[in-house]
Structure formats: C-alpha cells, structure tokens
Amino acid sequence: MTAPAWRLSTAPASPTALEQVDAWWRAANYLSIGQIYLQENPLLREPLEPEHLKRRLLGHWGTTPGLNFVYGHLGRVIREREQRALFVMGPGHGGPSGVACAWLEGTYTERFPDIEQSERGMQRLFRQFSFPGGIPSHAAPETPGSINEGGELGYSLAHAYGAALDDPELLVACVIGDGEAETGPLAGSWHANKLLNPVADGVVLPILHLNGWKIANPTLLARIPEHELLELMRGYGHDPILVTVGGDDDTAGSHRRFAAALDDALDRIAAIKADAAAGTLTARPAWPMLVLRSPKGWTCPKEVDGQAIEGTWRAHQVPLEEVREDEEHRRLLEEWLRSYRPDELFDERGAPRELVTAAAPSGDLRMSATPVANGGVLRQPLSLAALRGSAHEVDPARRGASSTGSTAVLGAWLAEVLRDNPETFRLFGPDETASNRLAPAVYEVTDKQWNAVALPGDEHLSPTGRVIEVLSEHLCQGLLEGYLLTGRHGLFTTYEAFAHIVDSMLNQHAKWLESAMHVPWREPISGLNYLLSSHVWRQDHNGFSHQDPGFIDVALNKSAEVVRVYLPFDANTLLATTDHCLRSTGTINVIVAGKQPQPQWLTLDEAAEHCERGLGVLPWAGTETDERPADAVLAAAGDVPTLEALAAASLLREAVPELSLRVVNVVDLGRLQQEEHHPHGLPDAEYDRFFTADKPVVFAYHGYPWTIHRLTYRRSGHDQLHVHGFLERGTTTTPFDMVMMNGLDRYTLAIDVIDRAGFAQSHAEARQSFSAARDRAKAYTREHGIDIPEVADWEWPA
C-alpha cells in the first residue's frame, strides 16, 4: 500500500472548503431524509403529496445528521492530506448516512449501477431503503465502506482497533454513539489503545458523539459534568478535544470549530507518528480523540404538535410520523426538506453539483471505496507450514499407547504459522494462550503485544508481539473481527464455558457473513476461527461454573451456510482441522479440543483423510466383518467421548465376543445433517452406510445430547439413536467422575450397547460386571480423591 506521510496541516480550513463541506452535509441530510420518507418526487419538482410518501416509515434520523457532519469533514482532511482512512459507524441506526455518503462519493453507483447519480437513481435510492426487496435500515454489508453492522451496539471501537493492527498508514475514524458508549463491550474497548504499536499499527481516532438521548432516555455520558467526562477519557489514556456544534450557534461557526478540532487531532497524530518513526517516543502516547456534542436530530423541525423534537429523544427515529394522513405534518416535512436548498445541491439531472463534491476525496481515498472496507479484495492466503513437521507420531500397531496434549501439538504448528505470516496472522485470547497449552511454543517465536508499562519479571511482553491477550472476550473477538474484515487472518482461543460471553457477537458476525454472501462486490473474508479448550469434560478442577458445552448450540442456531463445528479427537485430527479452518473463507469455525494429555489414535495421514471425510469408521476399534454385519454402532464426537467410546468397545470385545460392533467417529457435526440442510450434509444413503438404517446407535457426544437428535431427526434410523452427553451435572471432581455423573462413561456406554443390541439376557453377567466396575470407580474417587488406576492407566489393548 502506498504510504501517506501523516501530513501536518499547513493552514486552517478555508472558508471555501468549509462552504463545500456544508454543501456536502446538507446534501447528505437531504438524501438521508429522502430515504426515510420518499418513494417518488425525489427532488421536490412538485408539491409533496401523500402518494409521494412511503406507507411504512422506518429508519433513524436522530444520529444521522451528526454522522453526515463528521463524514463531510473527514472527507476534507482526507483529500487535503491524502490520508488513507476507514470510517467505522458505531451508531448503526444511522444507516441512511452511510448510504447517502456512499452515493454522493459515487461509490454506490459503482457498486449498484442501477442506482445512478440522477433523479431516477435518487428515487431508487430512496425507495429501496427499509422497503421489501430493498436494503436494511442499518449500515450493513450492502453499504459500501461499512465493516460494522451496528444493529447491536458496542463493537465499533473494537472493530476499529482490529482494523488498525498491522496497517501503519491507516487512520480509522470511529464514531461512537453515546448510547453505545454505555455498553460493556464498548467500555472495555477503550483499553485497546494500550495494545497498538505506534510504529507498526495504524491509528484509531475515536469520535464520541454526544447527542444526549437514546430511544427514550438520556445518555449517561451526556449528563455527567464536563470535567468528569474529560477526566474519564484521559483516564482511558486519551487526549480529548471537546467540540460543541449546533444549538443556537450559527452553522458556519459549527463548521469552523469542528474543522479546527479535527485538524488539531490529526496534527497531534502526525506528530506522534513522526516521533515513533524516529524512535524518540519515551512513553506510551496519549492519542487524541474528539468529543462532539450536537443536538439529537439536528436540523429537523424544532417542534411538532406542540412538542419539542430537535434536541430531544423524539428525534431518535422518525420525527414526523403522520405525513400521509396529516397535511400539517406533510407541510413540515416539505419545509424541512427544502431547508437544505436542494436546487443548490443537485443539478437538473439530479446529480450532485461540484459544490457538494469539491471537498471530497476521489478513488480509493473515498471512505466508501477504500479496499480496507472490503477485506476480501486484500486477503492473501496464509503461508501454512506442512503439518508433518508438527504431527504427533502414532504407531498403528499400538494406538493410544502415547499420550500428549493436543493443543500443545497445535501450538508448535501455530508457532510456525506466526513465524511465516508476520503481518497477517494473529492469536487473540483472554489471558489463556499459556493456560490452553499453545505456549510455550508460540512464545518462542513471538510475544504478547503490549504498550503499557512493563515491569521486571514480566514475560513475553513486547510492542511488536503477534499474540493479543486482554481479559475481555468481547474485545478479543471485536479485534479479531476488525482484523478479518480488513483482509487478515486469526484465531481466537478461549475456555469453552466462557465463549458464551460472545454469543451475541457470533450471532451478529454470522448475520454479516450471510448477508455479505449475497452482495456480489463483497469478496469473502477469512473464516472467524474459535478454538475452545479447557472444555466441559476437563474442567473437573474449576467446577460447575466452568462446565458448559452450549456454545456449540449457539453456533448451530445460525445459518448452515456460514457455521461449522468441529470436534477433533486427538492431536493429529486437531492439526488437520485447524489447517482446514485457517484456509477457509466466509465461515465461522468452532473447534473444540482438550488441552490435557490424552491417548493419541490416528497417524497424520489417517487424520487428514478422516477430517476430509468429516466422519468415518474406525475399523481397528470395531469387530464387524463382511461376514458379520454390525449388530450395533458405537459412535462418538469429541475427544473425551471418543476415549470413553473406545474403552467401551474394548470392554465389549472381551466380554461379548459374539457382538459385531461398528465404531464411528464424527469430527464435523455438519455431516450429520441432510445435504439439503447443510453444505457438508450427507445424503441419506451415505449416512445409512455409516450408521445403518435399522441397528441401534449408541452415541457418545461432547455436548448436550439433544443437539445430535436435532441434527439427525429426519434420518431413517433416528428412533434407534441413543445419545449420551452432558446433562448439566457437574462439580469439582475427578475427570472420570465427571463422565460418570453424566452417563458418558465407558461402563454406561457398554451396558447401553448390550441392552440396545439385544444381549442383555445372554450376557447378564457381563452387564453386571460393568455396573460393579462403575460403582468401584465411583467409590475409589470418594476415598482417594483420584480416579481408579484401571481407568486412569487404561490403554487400548495391543
């Protein structure tokens, strides 16, 4: 990317430039109101009539004029300084603004040629907004320049900081609504300024937009004393610049004050960047930020039906609601629209006049056209090391004889990925990289990025680390999303139970991806990859609060087009799965894998083949032959469930030799669904080849049992499917006691196979011996506090 010089301003904004910015602002406001209200007569060539107006008035005006104001002023400084910039719109309800500004810059017409810059194009622009078959009311994937949907507030600043990582020439201007600023994710995101490197990363310019109101309530930050607000921002490590616009002041004064504040902020940034490049920074800089006070619904009617509108909560959505039915409301709307003097802004064809666009940037410097906001066009595949160099050696003649932590093996490979992709791949996590056993390997090639104070005794902290750790799952995921949406790659590692903290973020990102699939000019971005470790079955030391596999279910509620869930059951299947996920685009990939030492089962070649299929028979574990088709299927998904299923198979081989048993392992849960319901789904005939159409299937599953029933309920053999999984029974106890509490242990599985396959009477003694062994194991934990040796030291028979 070509580098601007983070230029200093040479003079205050000229009156001519500010007149041009004002014209932009008026034009963007006019277009924004038109989107909410008009379906015909876009340029008011004739008096406004009811048939010109939409029947359903949807959208949000309150934050929109402030967004248009900021966007216009940013356009001026981008043009003058030739500064690459990305605009992150925190108040996603200001969707009309994003669309209006993209249309004025010409990008909207480039992306959607039928919405040309003409009267006809303007009418189409207006009609499509919040209209069946049109576009949403929020900023969305359909909005050029947007990476932040904003329908659920709180993630804009984290996205902005993620976008700035590893792009030292990029300015990310992030408008934060004062309602959004009350959310927990946003409050945590202020701390991201301690993570960015002034040399290697870009700069985020937070613009806290205080217009005073949410839907029907005042906002906290707009109502605290000004000194308290500024102290709060300074406490977060910023150098705040306060600007008040609107109100009783003249418009020209508002433009002058904001232009001066914006130039001041960018000059301070340029000075910090220059000092950082010269190596003369002696401490973490206090980056500037803007605090912008403007009236809610600025420039709309001040009063309607005797009630104040501008500057109040009543301007939040649609200030005039009865414009089709009420002649006075319609008169006020027309007066409001004409107050922007559209004849000065649009020519006879309906295109923006030069006065409107003169101060705006061109080409890729337009914030609506920057490639950074369409990260798929910048994305380059990762350089991924061969798995063989990190694979765990497994002897097929002695399966399970060796033991290791799967995530430790993965960590060695990820260290190579970090080494080979020093500017496009990062690990994110809430203080758990070491806990989840990806360290020490990754810290042999990189550190944790850190620009706060470092003390003697600190380990693996550096301004240029490739690992970002902060104890906020919201911030970790927000940074990763911003990094992915601007064309890079990453992996988010966290404890399984606490992935629930970002349930809603997964929802929003999944909706973004699904919508983006239908926007032709959006190129696919890298997959959002979760590695959930310290999982439900090995949180025996932390107890019930840490035992929850339900994030899988949250993911599976989303569109099958974008969500994938993988349960690798040893180190080599984890390597193969992660390799696949890091190559993926347009998906959310949830990988669940334990960190504790476990028996290892498959060679790398076997693991790669198994993961490519997504599921498969483990022929060495079962007893079926061509001559003796399976009497029952013992299936498993997940590392601990697979261990217990294999132990159960071993018990059955010895105690019930007459039983013909098939053992199946599932890595990709999507394979259980039918092909018409999931891109990875199996045709019914192929599913039956694995699970049979009429034989009992005992399924040991990592999560809640009903999840497997939900995925397979249409399969022909569903009535014969019996799932064992987590039953919401947990505590601080031993690993084997955990599986016994939930009926997932080897003895319970073996008994269930005997019963379902019809061997209960003929092998009552074996059944009784398994029950007795289970009782012994439980009693042993109560007496000794550890698992019984016959379980703890169990190995697959050679």
Contacts for 650 with CB less than 8 Å, ≥ 6 apart: 796, 797
Residues 324, 369 share a domain: yes
Q: How far apart are CA 208 and CA 242, in angstroms?
A: 9
Angle at 43 between CA 37 and CA 46, to 5 degrees: 95
Angle at 123 between CA 122 and CA 125, to 5 degrees: 60
**β-strand partners of 492:** 428, 530
Residues 573, 639 share a domain: no
**β-strand partners of 122:** none
Q: Which of 373, 382, 437, 367 is nearest to 405 (CA)?
A: 437
Q: Which two tokens stand for residue 771?
A: 């029950």
Residue type, 565: V
Residues 595, 744 share a domain: no
What's the CATH code of the domain at 480? 3.40.50.970
Q: Which two tokens stand for residue 670?
A: 């999507």
- Position 10 scores a pLDDT of 83
691 in any annotated domain? yes
Q: How far apart are CA 364 and CA 374, in angstroms?
A: 11
Q: What kind and span of H or E run contains 291?
A: strand 287-293
Q: Tell me which of 350, 374, 398 is where a domain ends.
A: 374
In this structure, how many other beta carbons lie within 10 angstroms of the beta carbon of residue 73? 25
Please provide the DSSP assignment of 443-480 as one string: GGT--EE--S---TT--SEETT-SEEE-S-HHHHHHHH
Contacts for 178 with CB less than 8 Å, ≥ 6 apart: 208, 209, 210, 211, 212, 219, 220, 221, 222
- Position 543 scores a pLDDT of 84
- Cβ(473)–Cβ(430) below 8 Å: yes
CA 576 from centroid of its chain's CA atoms: 23
1 in any annotated domain? no
3-state secondary structure of 518: coil
Q: Tell me which of 599, 628, 656 is where a domain ends.
A: 599
Length of the chain: 798
Please tell me the total count of domains within the chain: 3
Alpha-helical runs (H) found in 446-589: 473-485, 503-516, 551-556, 571-583
CA 706 from centroid of its chain's CA atoms: 26
758 in any annotated domain? yes
**β-strand partners of 86:** 172
Residues 584, 458 share a domain: yes
- Position 121 scores a pLDDT of 97
Tell me which residue has tokens 């081989």.
Answer: 653
pTM across the whole model: 0.96
Residues 324, 423 share a domain: no
Q: What kind and span of H or E run contains 643?
A: helix 639-655
- Position 542 scores a pLDDT of 81
Residues 286, 161 share a domain: yes
Q: Which of 652, 647, 610 is nearest to 632 (CA)?
A: 652
- Cβ(122)–Cβ(35) below 8 Å: no
Mapping DSSP onto H, E and C, the string for 298-334 reads CCCCCEECCEECCCCHHHCCCCCCCCCCCHHHHHHHH
Q: Tell me which of 374, 398, 416 is where a domain ends.
A: 374
521 in any annotated domain? yes
133 to 58, 130, 561: CA distances (angstroms): 14, 9, 21
Residues 394, 348 share a domain: no
392 to 208, 611, 678: CA distances (angstroms): 51, 16, 32
- Position 5 scores a pLDDT of 66
pLDDT along the chain (798 residues), means of 10: 69 96 98 97 96 95 97 97 97 91 98 97 96 91 91 92 98 96 96 96 98 94 96 97 88 96 98 95 94 96 95 94 95 97 97 96 97 98 96 96 96 98 97 92 96 94 96 97 98 95 96 96 98 89 87 96 97 98 98 96 98 97 94 98 98 96 98 95 96 96 97 94 96 95 98 95 95 97 96 92
Contacts for 518 with CB less than 8 Å, ≥ 6 apart: none
Residues 532, 590 share a domain: yes
User: What is the C-alpha R_g of the chain?
Assistant: 30
3 in any annotated domain? no
Please provide the DSSP assignment of 143-162 as one string: STT-----SS-S-HHHHHHH
3-state secondary structure of 698: strand
Q: How far apart are CA 487 and CA 271, in angstroms?
A: 28
Prior bond to 696 cis, omega within 30?
no
Residues 292, 183 share a domain: yes
Residues 451, 341 share a domain: no
- Position 250 scores a pLDDT of 86
264 in any annotated domain? yes
Residues 420, 326 share a domain: no
Q: Which two tokens stand for residue 262?
A: 């914006």
Q: How far apart are CA 738 and CA 575, in angstroms?
A: 27
CA 248 from centroid of its chain's CA atoms: 42
- Cβ(333)–Cβ(48) below 8 Å: yes
Q: Which two tokens stand for residue 369?
A: 């056209």
Q: Which of 773, 709, 701 is nearest to 743 (CA)?
A: 701
186 secondary structure, DSSP code: H
Tell me which residue has tokens 């998906």.
Answer: 587
651 in any annotated domain? yes
3-state secondary structure of 533: strand
- Cβ(425)–Cβ(488) below 8 Å: yes
Q: How far apart are CA 720 and CA 698, in angstroms?
A: 8
CA 469 from centroid of its chain's CA atoms: 16
Residues 277, 182 share a domain: yes
Q: Which of 290, 84, 273, 88 is nearest to 197 (CA)?
A: 273
Mapping DSSP onto H, E and C, the string for 589-644 reads EEEECCCCEEECCCCHHHHHHHHHHCEEECCCCCCCCCCCCCCEEEEEECHHHHHH
Q: Which of 300, 302, 308, 305 is nearest to 328 (CA)?
A: 305
- Domain coverage including residue 732: 615-792
Alpha-helical runs (H) found in 324-464: 327-338, 342-345, 354-357, 406-420
460 in any annotated domain? yes
